[in-house]
Amino acid sequence: MNQSWELEQALQALNDFRRDLSKTPAEKLNLLEQEQRVQQVVHALGCELMREVFMRADVKEPEVVINGQRWGNRRESEAPYVTKLGNIRVSRGIYSQSGGGPVAVPMELRLGIVEGRYTPGVARVLCRAVAAMPAEEAAGLLQEAGIAAVSVSTLKRVPKTIAARYETQREQINAELRATEQVPDEAVTVQVGLDGVMVPQDGENAKARGRETSSPKAPRHETRYGPVNVEGPANDDGLGGRSWHEGSVGTLAFYDADGNHLRTVYLGRMPQEKMATLSAELEQEFRAAMLARPDLDVVFASDGDIHQWKILNGIAQRILTYATGHVRSLLDFYHAAEYLTKASDLLYGANSAESRAAAAQWRETLKYDDSGADRVLKSLRYHRDELAHAKHREQVQGIIDYLADNKHAGRLAYAQALADKKPIGTGVTEAAAKTVVNTRMKRAGARFDQHGGQTIMLFRTAILSERFQRLFAILERSYTAKIKVAA
């Protein structure tokens, strides 16, 4: 392969650096400057090598067959591409079919170029970056690192476009991910958890942000894939400015025989009526785990929301025909403990010594006594009847009713669960709400449209679930095609 002029220039820059370095006194070396220059040299050389990779994948023949269809009318066209090492321009062949219509670029389809411009490696970096931090911070970090350095607008646009492509194939992609998922060999218990989490959004009457224009264009992801993730309560809440709506997170957490946490599958969706999409995905994840390991003990867990328990109970009814292990439902113990503290404050005075002592005793009884729920409820009813304050008596009755309903549903059997080394709290699920949403999306002034927020949730949950690499392998494959030279 003959060297291009650009490659010769890059190699000359390498030689120039080594010559200059040999002439620089050791005591006058500035490491920061030298490192930056090394990076410039390496990137210049890397870009030329990447250009050769691109050109090697090009097709020169007049006709090609792409996924079984014949394309011809070849012509040359130069286009920009973004690699981890920098931007390059490559002249490549483009083809069309008889009668006109869209064009195809075999080079891009062979290499799996993402959204017509980005290498798969760059696409992964951009999506990881926005999953971790706002685009403005990510752009600064990538610029400082000198890897896949792009503009803020690119960081905002490209992950959303990739996420839109995912949404058009979501069920198939998730099914493939589940098919490659492995339940840990040491697992004996799976906890199925569900929780809500508030997400900041723009109300429907909020003033549009970004560049002002009288004729705004549709976002890039909509022009390519159509509207996705557009339905949500923020669209018709009648509010202007920032509004808050409840998104949802779900977890499938696996534990060993000693009750040690092994790993978790995380799910997250933007606000939606009845958590419809998330509950369906959680059910599919649970179904796959039970088909693989029907011997697993199952713990359904929630913090007490009636609708969440309705979802979990529905999942249980549809899936547990696969289960041969023990199945139980538990109200998050720490949520139950909060109710006991509220009751003791009503009975003995808020945060008084007597209140703290009573709450501690009730918690211990509920947690470790096999008949703890009965004993605590009996004590609460006795003290309720001793209250002279009618409003406080009514409030204590509400707590009694709440705990009694959960006892009747079998959700307060904590002592037996602990003896069996099962989780009694929803810490994993609550942590999901914090790690998926709170730490990334609840920053000063932050607010998200339905698709923008879902883009972050998609990539954050994939990272947390240790699925990011597999998810992107599937997505990247969708940008490729089988290319053959026409006979």
Number of structural domains the chain divides into: 2
Give dist(CA 356, CA 38) in Å, integer: 64
220 within a domain of the structure (yes/no): yes
Q: Could you tell me the CA-to-CA distances from 384 to 354, 374, 396, 430, 469 in Å, in that order? A: 15, 15, 6, 32, 56
State whether 229 and 362 are in the same domain: no
Give dist(CA 471, CA 270) in Å, integer: 19
pLDDT number for residue 323? 87
Beta carbons of 452 and 477 less than 8 angstroms apart: no
pLDDT number for residue 486? 85
Among the candidates 376, 404, 419, a domain finishes at 419
Among the candidates 325, 344, 368, a domain finishes at 325
Q: What is the DSSP letter of 209?
A: P
460 within a domain of the structure (yes/no): no
315 within a domain of the structure (yes/no): yes
State whether 348 and 286 are in the same domain: no
State whether 235 and 319 are in the same domain: yes
Instruction: Write the CB contacts of 62 (distance below 8 Å, at least 6 apart in sequence).
Output: 72, 74, 486
State whether 202 and 228 are in the same domain: yes
239 within a domain of the structure (yes/no): yes
225 within a domain of the structure (yes/no): yes
CB contact burial 451-464 (16+ within 10 A = b; e otherwise): bbbbbbbbbbbbbb
Which amino acid is residue 108, in one-letter code? E
Instruction: Write the CB contacts of 441 (distance below 8 Å, at least 6 apart in sequence).
Output: 199, 200, 448, 453, 456
**pLDDT tens for the 487 residues of the chain, in order:** 456 777 888 888 899 989 989 999 999 999 999 999 999 999 999 999 999 999 999 999 999 999 999 999 999 999 999 999 999 999 999 999 987 789 999 999 999 999 999 999 999 999 999 999 999 999 999 999 999 999 999 999 999 999 999 999 999 999 999 999 999 999 999 999 999 999 999 876 666 665 566 666 788 899 999 999 988 888 888 777 678 999 999 999 999 999 999 999 999 999 999 999 999 999 999 999 999 999 999 999 999 789 999 999 999 999 888 889 999 999 999 999 999 999 999 999 999 999 999 999 999 999 999 999 999 999 999 999 988 888 999 999 999 999 999 999 999 999 999 999 999 999 999 999 999 999 999 998 899 999 999 999 999 999 999 999 999 999 999 999 999 998 7
H-helix or E-strand spanning residue 485: strand 483-485
Judged by DSSP in three states, 103 sits in strand
286 within a domain of the structure (yes/no): yes
DSSP string, 430-468: HHHIIIIIIHHH-STT----HHHHHHHHHHHHHHHTT-H
Report phi then psi at 166, rounded to 5: -60, -45
400 within a domain of the structure (yes/no): yes
Residue-range definition of the domain harbouring residue 243: 183-325
Among the candidates 276, 308, 325, a domain finishes at 325
State whether 354 and 304 are in the same domain: no
State whether 359 and 283 are in the same domain: no
State whether 342 and 407 are in the same domain: yes
CB contact burial 26-49 (16+ within 10 A = b; e otherwise): eeeeeeeeeeebeeebbbbbbbbe
State whether 342 and 264 are in the same domain: no
pTM, to two decimals: 0.92
62 within a domain of the structure (yes/no): no
Residue found by looking up tokens 């920032």 in the block: 242
State whether 221 and 296 are in the same domain: yes
Which amino acid is residue 399, in one-letter code? I
State whether 244 and 348 are in the same domain: no
State whether 205 and 315 are in the same domain: yes
State whether 265 and 352 are in the same domain: no
Give dist(CA 136, CA 153) in Å, integer: 9
